[in-house]
Structure 1
Amino acid sequence: MPRLLLLRHSEVESHRGDVPITDKGVRIAADAGRHLAAWEGERLRVISGETRRARETAAAIAGGAREAGAEVVEDGVAFALRNPDLYLAGVRVDMVSSAEKFAVQVPGLTAEDVLGVEFFEQWLTVPDRVGWWVAHSNPPGDTAAAVATRIRAFAGSLGDRPGDGDLIVAITHSPVLRACALDITGADPGEPNWVSGIEAQVHPDRITTMRVLPEAP
C-alpha cells in the first residue's frame, strides 16, 4: 500500500496572489527531492495543488529526486490538495489578504461589501488568519475538521491502484496541513516550515494513519 507525504509548498516572498516560489524556494524543494530519493528505493509519485507555488515546488522536488537517481512520476494536480473552500455571496473565494482581493473574485461586490460580512472583516484583522480559521466553529465554508476528512478520504483512495507501493509526495498549503495536524494531535501547531508536513500510511481497509513529521532545525 502507498505512503503519502503531505508537504507545504516551498518559500514565497508573500501570499499576495498566485505567486511563484523564490530562487531559495527552488533550492529548498530540490534538496528535499534529493533527500526523498534515498527513502528505501521507492518510486516517487509527485502531485500538487493547483496554485503556482504548489506546482513549482512539485517540479523542483521531482527534479532533485531525479538528480539523485530516483524513479519519479510527475502526476499533475490533485483537486483534494486545494486550500479550504470559503464562500462569499455564493462564490468560492481564495484565502487572500485584502477586501479588494476578495471583492474582485465576486462579480458585483465591493470591498466595502466584503467588510460588511463579519467573517471576512475579522479574517482581515487577525494576526494569524489561518489559525483563526482553524479554530473557527462555523466559517462560511470548510471547517478544519471538514478539510481533514477530505484529506483522509483522498489518502484512502490512493490504495485503489493494484500493487501501488509508491511514495506519493503531495504539495499543498498551510491551512490543509494545520487542519490535519489538529485532527491528529488535537492542537494547531502553527505555521509549518517550507516543505514540511505530514506522513500518512494507507492500509488495505482504506484506513489512514497519520503523523506530523518532525521539522528540521
Structure 2
Amino acid sequence: MKKVLKIGLLGSSGRIGSGIIKLLENDDQSFIVQKISRQQLIDKDLFLEEVDVIIDFSLPEATCLLLKRLREKKISKPMMIGTTGFSQDQWNELHEYASTSPVIQTSNTSLSIGLICQFAKNAAVVLGKNYEILISEVHHKHKVDSPSGTAKMLAQSCIDGFSNPPYIQALRIGDVKGVHEITFFGPYDRITIRHEADDRQLFCEGAVTLAKWIVNQKPGQLHSIQDFLIRN
C-alpha cells in the first residue's frame, strides 16, 4: 500500500490553491493537513512536523517568511513552489533552502508547458542566429505580473540555446486562463508553437504531480520542471 502524502498548502485562498483543495477531495493517496495562512506565518503559529511536502502558491514575501519560520524551527520539508516574481535576494534564499531540502520551483506547473520549454531550447540551438523569436501571452486582467513567470521561463529556454534575446508581448484581458505562443521567424519560414489552458485544474494536477515527485528527490539543487521531465 502506498504511503498517504500529507500536504501543507500556502496560498489556499488563491485560484490555484482553491483548485488544489478541490482536486484532492477525490485523491485517497494525498490530502491537505494544514492550510498555511499569512497570519500564521506572522504569528509563528505553525505546526508543520507532520507535513510531508509543502505546496506554495502565494507571494514571494510569504514564501520567504515561510522559509524563515522553517529555519527557526529547524524543520526541513520538501517544497513545490509555484510562486513567481522573486527578487535576486529572494532567489538566493530559495537556493540556500534547497541546499538542505528537496525543492522544485516552476512558474507554470503544466507539464505540457515544460515540454514546450524543452522544444524551444532545442529549436533555438538548431535554428541558430538566422531566426528571431517572439513570445506572446494572454492572461486574465487580474494577473499582476507582466510579462508572466511563464513567459520569462519560455524566454530563458530560448536564451539557453540562442544568443539573441526573444521579444515578449503580454496582454491582460477578461478571464483568460493562459495562452502562450512562441514563434520562430526565419528568412524563408515561420514556426509557431501555441499552448492554451482551458481549465486551471491543469495547473493544479501538475502541482500535485510535482509535489509527489519532489518528496523522493535529494537536496542540493533548486529543481525545475525540466528536471522532472528528464527523469520521468
TM-score by length of 1: 0.31
- Quick check: which one's strand share is greater? 2
TM-score by length of 2: 0.30
Higher relative contact order (CA 8 A, sep 6+): 1
